[in-house]
Amino acid sequence: MSIFPAYIEDKERIHTDTKTDDDSSTNTTKWLINSSFPLETDRLKCLEKVTISGSSSSCSTDNETELLPAKRYKKHKKHKKKSKRKKHNADFDMQISKPALEFNGEEEYYIDKNKAKIFLSIRTLHKPACPRYRRSFGHAMGTLRWNELLSAGTTLKLRKRYFQNKLTTSRNPICNGILPALDENEYTSRLGQLNRKTLEPTCDLQVWLDLISLQEQNPYKWTRLLLAERKLDIINRALLSFPRNEQLYRIYIDIINVTYPSFEVTKMIDRLLIKDPHSYTLWTAQIMTTQGSMARCIVPDVLRIYERCMSKMHRAQQINKSDAATNSTSDNIMLKLFNNCALFLRQAGLYELFIALLKLALELNVSTSDFKAFTPLESDQNTLIEYEEIVLQSGLPMNEIWQRIEKLRQSFNFLPCLNSSNDPQRIVFNEDICHYIYPLELRENSFYLMLLILRLLKLPFIQTEELAEKFTAHLQLIGDSDAIEDTLAVCLQRNFAISQNLQNEFQKGLYTLAKEMAVNPTFLGNIIGHDIYNRCVSDLLMDFAASYTNIDNRKRELFIVLWCRFKRLLLVLERCSSKINAEYIKAGRKLFKNLLKHPLNRNVLIFYTEFAIYEYESLENPKDDMSSVASIFENLISSHSADETQASDLCYTYVTFAEMLIGCDKPTEALQVLISFALNSEVVTYCKIGDGKKLAALQKVIDKLDRQIAIEKNVEVIVLEQYLLPDYTISLIKVRMLIQCLIGKKTEAIEYLDKLLHIFRNNNDRHRFLREQIMEIYIGVLQIARSTCKIPNGLLRDKIFNTLAEFPRNLYLLQHCGMLSSEPWFRIRTAILRTKPTILAVTFLIVLARYKFFQMNSDEEWDKRHNALIIRNRILHIFKTLTSDHVTEVSGRNALLRNALFWRLYIRFLSDQCTDFETSKKCLLTALDECPWNKALYLDGATHVPQELSHLQDLIIEKQLRIYALPEELEILREQ
């Protein structure tokens, strides 16, 4: 027989009438002595006198039997009437005479169906009825302790429960970026105090900012609209006391963007522009209100706003033309607007207008001569026709044919035509674009314009945080550049203190991702037609150098150095793709020799140094044979050692040669090179060096460096070309650090670097540049392996993480942060995204995730699938974290979500064999809502969500983005 009533069957229900005496009843109820069934004495007596009903009708009628409680056991509420109580007692006595039980007296148990409500409530525990305890973890692999995690900026969400979390939140004024609500009395008193301060004549801006932030701490349940209206009212009052304040403008724009629809935002910004028609911040917000709205983003409408904006700015520039400081500021604003407009044209696919605009800007501000780099060749058009015929005859589906021909024409037809053309959109006149560029007031700003044009052409030359800051224009509103090629600048800077094979593997991973995400036209070798773009960029660099001939030799040398680095980058990328051959190296070597044969370049030392670096990169295994590179350096040093006019370039040559020798495991030869620089003697790489000679050379370098540092303490200004050319102070610091590390004084070198960091801690541009470069040297010194001084991994990790928090866009630091083999993934991810989540940080995290995958890859098929799933989850977690509202702050999140490369990467890693089309479609719709002007998003959507191809084509035509191949045209061409 089953214990549980639900499992009792009819055949087991045996009901017999038996009469038991007192002894048998007592034996039957012995089981009730069990403490699990504490019945009272009166109830036991009632059970002893109970008779078993033998009628089966009662069971079938009631459908279940009950053991009825005794009268004394049943508790009744006092408020019931006596008549009801008597009636209940009478019915109770009748029911006792014939109880219906489910046992016959022979069993040693009975079925308890009475509710024990006392157990439904717990009187011993109080709310929230949870024990207070801590979760302790081990500290394996160098994990941080709890107090260190708090200092590192980790969130408190779900860390401590109930009382402890409430206590910790009360101690911290800001938790997860949200201000806690104040008590009503405290809020009222503080509000009155701040309102009284705003009426004082000495009131500063901080009082108004505190008053705005106080609205977030209100104790009332205000709606978002009401809260925004109160904030805007305060800002409008503050603007009366502080007109044209940029900080108030930005807060105002952030509030209205998240509260009102786009057409309301446009009206509100228009009201501010009537009062301040020359504000760059307001005009940028007005442009992005139309450009960033899916319903209103149409290319002619956006360009019309750019035209109004730039004409207003130019008119203000003409009014204040006499003031030099005002001219510099107005030029800066005009260059920012030009950058934004050109970037919009490039992202919309209007490359003809984009190139024509760049050409007109150069003709107005640099030189009136024709730039041959932007002239198309007829042979390129014939090559395009051949490729199109191959695609049309391939038999591919129509959507694939459209995508391939669209990308082909975009790679070949990006240059505008002045003469007749089959495509009328390629014919661009100056009248079509003259409203988007104006002549600059100051001649020296033309150099910045040329570098800005190179960046718009996706030339990777920015490697440091300080230089990247010079080329940013309101990232919070318009977003950074979406060119994946910018990350390839890290391939130009090698760290010879670590394994070169590891760096090569990282560069291969970066190049693989760049090939997947590149947008035509580009200089990457996997794209058909890349040679046209390479020729365009190379010729443009030479045109820039020629424009400074006999005007400024240093700027001329800079553009030629950029040309040399661009050729070296192409060589490195060819090696990463395993397509490098002897003919390619020979052709590159020939270009360098033709450059050095020019009369103006024969005595420029830095050109020969760049040629030596190119020769080093062309070697398959530099450790085996480096004689050709060494001979170039030795000839350079012997011929230019007495030239004091090129002291900076000479020091850079010595340092580069020594670092290459260290990378080839030749520390003795490297030390000899550095000592020859210090003593100004001939380089003899195979001779024994005495200790006295080492110390004498070190002392001379120390004296030179001390004099240079004394000068640098008082320097606060840095010109733009110093960011890109070798710096004499940095080269001297490297010489001293390398000598001290090679002679076994690594500890003294680290102490001196700490001293320099303490000296250069001011906020001027020169000191910040020196500080960033010293940080890179510091990390390189820590990674130099010497048996006399071993550095713990924790010191290197902390130094990289702290430096990355200070300079989040430094490519050298981003690369070395991910190459820390002893650090777990979550710590690397936190260090890179902690301070400023930029598109560079996201791109490098993806490359590092793949790099970790290659490190843990195995031969077994199951392990490969498992590791690939881990990497996919890691990458998708990055995107889900950055797109959530409560993780990243508003300004950084807006800048990231306005970047089309972020969404293209997200869609790319969603669309694999582990997902469905609906997930990719939702991500695509979100991306188009954030960046509706970017043509690359539509092309990626056609690839990863092919069922929406027709809708995407309609959207491209509706937004008036550039479309080269109409579906109807391809149908006709395919039939022919």
DSSP character string of 10-33: GGG---------HHHHHHHGGGGG
Nearest to 440 by CA among 343, 547, 318, 346: 318
pLDDT of residue 686: 59
**Is there a domain that residue 691 lies in?**
yes
Phi, psi of 415 (to 5 degrees): -90, 135
Q: What percent of the chain clears pLDDT 70, i.e. is strictly above it?
A: 78
Phi, psi of 49 (to 5 degrees): -95, 5
* Cβ neighbours of residue 722 closer than 8 Å, sequence gap 6 or more: 769
pLDDT of residue 843: 92
Environment class of 801 (CB within 10 Å of its CB; exposed 0-12, middle 13-18, buried 19+): buried
Environment class of 717 (CB within 10 Å of its CB; exposed 0-12, middle 13-18, buried 19+): exposed
pLDDT of residue 928: 93
Rounded Cα–Cα distance for residues 314 and 76 (Å): 91
Average the pLDDT over 42-48 and give the result.
Answer: 50
The alpha-helical segments, DSSP class H, found in 807-916 are: 811-818, 825-833, 839-855, 861-883, 890-897, 900-910
Nearest to 609 by CA among 645, 654, 659, 658: 654
Long-range contacts (CB closer than 8 Å, 24 or more residues apart) made by 102-106: 102/5, 102/8, 102/13, 102/65, 104/14, 104/15, 104/16, 104/18, 104/52, 105/18, 105/20, 105/24, 105/28, 105/52, 106/28
Statement: residue 967 has pLDDT above 80: yes
DSSP letter assigned to residue 171: H
pLDDT of residue 952: 93
Range of the domain at 753: 639-791
Rounded Cα–Cα distance for residues 897 and 538 (Å): 33
Summarised one tens digit per residue, pLDDT across range 759-807 is 998 788 999 999 999 999 999 999 887 666 777 888 888 899 999 989 9
How many other CB atoms are found less than 10 A from the CB of residue 497?
Answer: 17
Token pair 């570098």 in the structure block, residue:
451
Query: 178: pLDDT confidence band, cut at 50, 70 and 90?
Result: low
Statement: residue 500 has pLDDT above 70: yes
Task: Give the three-state DSSP class for 68.
Answer: coil
**Is there a domain that residue 626 lies in?**
no
DSSP letter assigned to residue 108: S
Statement: residue 275 has pLDDT above 80: yes
287 touches 309 (CB < 8 A): yes
Four-point Cα dihedral 711, 713, 715, 716, nearest 10: 170
Environment class of 7 (CB within 10 Å of its CB; exposed 0-12, middle 13-18, buried 19+): exposed
Statement: residue 15 has pLDDT above 50: no
* Cβ neighbours of residue 576 closer than 8 Å, sequence gap 6 or more: 504, 507, 508, 511
The pTM for the full model equals 0.80
188-192, 474-478, 506-510, 655-659: which has the minimum mean pLDDT?
A: 474-478
Nearest to 568 by CA among 543, 581, 551, 585: 585
Query: 76: pLDDT confidence band, cut at 50, 70 and 90?
Result: very low
Rounded Cα–Cα distance for residues 742 and 766 (Å): 29
Element spanning 372, H or E = none
Element spanning 767, H or E = helix 765-783
Sign of the Cα torsion 594, 599, 600, 604 reads positive
3-state helix, strand and coil shares in percent for the chain, rounded to the nearest 5: 65, 0, 35
Query: 132: pLDDT confidence band, cut at 50, 70 and 90?
Result: low
* b/e burial code for range 68-77 (CB count within 10 A of at least 16 → b): bbbeeeeeee
Rounded Cα–Cα distance for residues 58 and 71 (Å): 22
pLDDT of residue 372: 83
Rounded Cα–Cα distance for residues 471 and 466 (Å): 9
* b/e burial code for range 30-66 (CB count within 10 A of at least 16 → b): eeeeeeeeebeeeeeebbeebebbeeeeebeeeeebe
Statement: residue 289 has pLDDT above 60: yes
Element spanning 473, H or E = none
How many other CB atoms are found less than 10 A from the CB of residue 172?
Answer: 11
Summarised one tens digit per residue, pLDDT across range 342-371 is 999 999 999 999 999 999 999 999 887 778
pLDDT of residue 412: 92
Half-sphere exposure of 780 (CA within 13 A, CB side): 20
Amino acid code (one letter) for 248 = L
pLDDT of residue 503: 87
Statement: residue 3 has pLDDT above 60: no
Omega of the bond leading into 521 within 30 degrees of 0 (cis): yes
Rounded Cα–Cα distance for residues 114 and 97 (Å): 19
11-20, 189-198, 375-384, 739-748: which has the minimum mean pLDDT?
A: 11-20
Average the pLDDT over 81-87 and give the result.
Answer: 49
Rounded Cα–Cα distance for residues 730 and 165 (Å): 49
610 touches 568 (CB < 8 A): yes
Structural tokens at position 454: 């190179």
Which of 48-57, 68-77, 346-355 has maximum average pLDDT? Answer: 346-355
Nearest to 109 by CA among 17, 9, 8: 8
Structural tokens at position 628: 């050709």
Average the pLDDT over 893-909 and give the result.
Answer: 87
280-289, 484-493, 700-709, 909-918: which has the minimum mean pLDDT?
A: 909-918
588 touches 571 (CB < 8 A): yes
Structural tokens at position 388: 């199109």
How many other CB atoms are found less than 10 A from the CB of residue 121?
Answer: 6
**Is there a domain that residue 693 lies in?**
yes
**Is there a domain that residue 287 lies in?**
no
Average pLDDT, the chain: 81
Statement: residue 604 has pLDDT above 80: yes
936 touches 482 (CB < 8 A): yes
Token pair 């701490």 in the structure block, residue:
217
Task: Give the three-state DSSP class for 429.
Answer: coil
Query: 511: pLDDT confidence band, cut at 50, 70 and 90?
Result: very high
Selected residue with higher pLDDT from 369 and 63: 369
3-state secondary structure 560-591: HHHHHHHHHHHHHHHHHCCCCCHHHHHHHHHH
Phi, psi of 427 (to 5 degrees): -90, 110
Task: Give the three-state DSSP class for 170.
Answer: helix
**Is there a domain that residue 768 lies in?**
yes
Q: Into how many domains does the chain fold?
A: 1
pLDDT of residue 652: 93
pLDDT of residue 835: 73
The alpha-helical segments, DSSP class H, found in 39-136 are: 41-48, 56-62, 82-97
Nearest to 532 by CA among 522, 540, 542: 522
284-293, 317-326, 878-887: which has the minimum mean pLDDT?
A: 317-326
Element spanning 819, H or E = none
